[in-house]
């Protein structure tokens, strides 16, 4: 099985996607030319992990931040909200009034609600956002903080674990270091996390790797957690964390990657192996798309 293409795909140009030599953007993201302003940022389709048989979101790749903003709930919303714009005009990210199911719009609305003290509303927006995009790192981190404000320590732990195992490319809008640091200090958590690989390794995950060191044991803990989720049959969690691992490793020097035996070929081979165990199968595209 391959990624499901939306029925209104004719509304955009042919798709391009990441080559096997790259880690970012993640597999499952395919960009098109419409409303690209020529600075390297571009819009594209993105299929959340585990939702390969559903219509994709439309996100914007922000190239200088190595991030993806999950701006539109789908291609239909993107085409509707950009109707009348010239192809070279940038498409503004929608508000929640424009696109109620947009993960980013819900995240932005949650931040506004949290700022005015409406924690319940903020939490509701964020829970809806992660229903559409389960690996939405920024929403997971902010939701963990809102749960803590509400006195729900167990859910705060659960969402922090999910934030740690989600790709940093979806973390735009929060300080991921705070989420990692908080989780690493927790002495107790819910029974549902008792055997969770990230939870068990939390003390070794005090901060996301950021380069500049000769060695970093965080990578050992992350790699072990990838295998731990795989052994538990949690393929989506394993694949999400493997994407995060690759993105972090991409920020390291060549000599660092060599010390840890990281190569693009081996990374991609493992990624495809994990994808093959997803319920909907591969995150590959159909022959009607064109690769770059």
Instruction: Please say whether the beta carbons of 241 and 249 come within 8 A.
Output: no
Whole-model pTM: value is 0.94
Condensed to tens digits (0 to 9), the pLDDT of residues 57-99 reads 999 999 889 999 999 999 999 999 999 888 777 889 999 999 9
Picking from 290, 280, 243, 235, the residue whose alpha carbon sits closest to that of residue 54 is 280
- Element spanning 69, H or E: strand 67-72
pLDDT at 289 over 60: no
Give the tokens for residue 99: 């696109």
Give the tokens for residue 67: 């991030």
Condensed to tens digits (0 to 9), the pLDDT of residues 208-228 reads 998 778 889 999 999 999 999
Condensed to tens digits (0 to 9), the pLDDT of residues 176-211 reads 999 999 999 999 999 999 999 999 999 999 999 987
d(CA 242, CA 123): 27
Percentage of the residues of the chain whose pLDDT score is greater than 70: 96
Residue 290 confidence (pLDDT): 40
Does the bond joining 25 to the residue before it have cis omega, within 30 degrees of 0?
A: yes
d(CA 77, CA 99): 7
């Amino acid at each position: 099985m391959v990624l499901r293409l939306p029925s209104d795909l004719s509304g955009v140009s042919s798709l391009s996607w990441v080559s096997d030599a790259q880690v970012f953007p993640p597999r499952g993201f395919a960009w098109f030319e419409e409303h690209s302003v020529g600075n390297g940022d571009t819009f594209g389709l993105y299929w959340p992990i585990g939702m390969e048989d559903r219509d994709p979101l439309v996100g914007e790749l922000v190239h200088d931040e190595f991030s993806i903003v999950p701006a539109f709930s789908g291609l239909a919303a993107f085409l509707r909200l950009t109707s009348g714009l010239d192809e070279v005009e940038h498409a503004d990210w929608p508000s929640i009034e424009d696109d109620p199911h947009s993960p980013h719009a819900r995240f932005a609305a949650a931040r506004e609600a949290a700022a005015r003290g409406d924690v319940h509303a903020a939490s509701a927006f964020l829970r809806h956002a992660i229903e559409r995009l389960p690996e939405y790192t920024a929403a997971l981190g902010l939701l963990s903080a809102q749960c803590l404000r509400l006195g729900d320590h167990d859910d705060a732990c659960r969402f922090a674990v999910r934030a740690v195992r989600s790709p940093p490319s979806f973390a735009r809008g929060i300080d991921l270091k705070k989420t990692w640091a908080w989780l690493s200090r927790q002495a107790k958590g819910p029974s549902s996390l008792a055997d969770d690989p990230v939870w068990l390794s939390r003390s070794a995950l005090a901060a996301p790797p950021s380069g500049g060191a000769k060695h970093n044991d965080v990578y050992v803990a992350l790699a072990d957690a990838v295998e731990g989720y795989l052994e538990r049959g949690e393929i989506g969690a394993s694949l999400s964390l493997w994407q995060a691992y690759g993105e972090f490793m991409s920020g390291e020097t060549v000599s660092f990657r060599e010390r840890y035996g990281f190569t693009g070929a081996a990374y991609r081979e493992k990624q495809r192996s994990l994808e093959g165990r997803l319920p909907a199968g591969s995150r590959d595209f159909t022959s009607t798309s064109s690769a770059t």
